[in-house]
Amino acid sequence: MQLYNNLSAKERAELIAQAGKDRLTISFYAYAKIGNPKTLRNQLFLAWNALDVLGRIYVAHEGINAQLSIPADNFEAFKSHLDSIPFLENVRLNIAIEHDNFAFLKLKIKVRDKIVADGLNDATFDVTDIGVHVNAERFNELIEDENTVLVDMRNHYESEIGHFKNAVTPDVDTFRESLDIIEEDLKDHKEDKNLVMYCTGGIRCEKASAYYKHKGFKNVFQLEGGIINYVRQINDKGLENKFIGKNFVFDQRRSERISDDVIAQCHQCGAPADLHTNCANDACHLLFIQCEACKEKMDNCCSTNCMEVHHLPYEEQKELRKGQGNSNDIFKKGRADHLPYKQDLRNIFEILNK
């Protein structure tokens, strides 16, 4: 009985290309009490592997968080399987605006302590006492209200390439960091301001809205289905789009273009750019924004030092990496002293005092 992926990314990419089938990119989440996450994890793997599902899925005692792709002609079978699981019946599926058949190349279903790493002790508050979910039309109305503070609950490298107009974009590396910053900055406005939040697909706002209600905020709202669902609604209903730039996504696509605006800049030269890439040096892999000119000049590397290492024979690179630890632990995403054009993001005080 196969319970784990046994193909390399290269082998899987070749199979996808040979199949010639269009794939849908989908995300969803659900908070629920799961008694045995490992058992559920194994059941999901057996069912979804048979449907050629690929993606990154986290299962925990508190629920499930899934980002995946599936052949379009298997979608109905996949949806039927979801509906056969009581807490996933009729779960909202965020279907991507832009699809890439190679967005995911492995099926990874992992058991985690939480479906979002939030650093919170959930026992101290009721995670089901959430804020008001609003659709795209109501969201557009709320964010034009002078008593509204609109907060982006994503990390700095996400909001740097795209965000809603007039949104607060905390300069944070983690979801947990933003919770304390926002609470402190809005401590004097818990009753007189609308706290309106959004994220990629809604999962971070689900927890944040319950947290802020516990902290005494009276008017807490969240964008139903996040940016992904917002874009689908404005397109379907002909509503005004108030999102500028691109929506960062956590798969091989890296982003979906929502508007033609390029609001970010190359971290190396400052030219307009909004394409994230990973440094080609395997010992680095820093995520940063690079324009086409710098990509060619720097050979897809973030620094001259990394470029020198990248040009070394593979065995020499391996020797240099020994004892250096995992590259993800070396650098934070989008931050490094040698990137002179990393943008400063908008804080709450700029909004309140404008």
Which active-site residues does the annotation give? 199
User: For every residue of the chain, which 3-state class applies, written as one string?
Assistant: CCCCCCCCHHHHHHHHHHHCCCEEEEEEEEECCCCCHHHHHHHHHHHHHHCCCEEEEEEECCEEEEEEEEEHHHHHHHHHHHHCCHHHCCCCCEECCCCCCCCCCCEEEEECCCCCCCCCCHHHCCCCCCCEEECHHHHHHHCCCCCEEEEECCCHHHHCCEEECCCECCCCCCHHHHHHHHHHHCHHHCCCCEEEEECCCCHHHHHHHHHHHHCCCCCEEEECCHHHHHHHHHHHHCCCCCEEEEEECCCCCCEEECCCCCCCECCCCCCECCCEEECCCCCCCCEEECCHHHHHHHCCCCCHHHHHHHCCCHHHHHHHHCCCCCHHHHCCCCCCCCCCCCCCCCCHHHHHCC
* CA pair distance 141, 258, nearest whole angstrom: 19
Structure tokens at 212: 């802020």
Sheet hosting strand 63-71, strand order edge to edge = 94-95, 23-31, 63-71, 54-60, 107-111
Structure tokens at 282: 């395997």
Structure tokens at 243: 């999102």
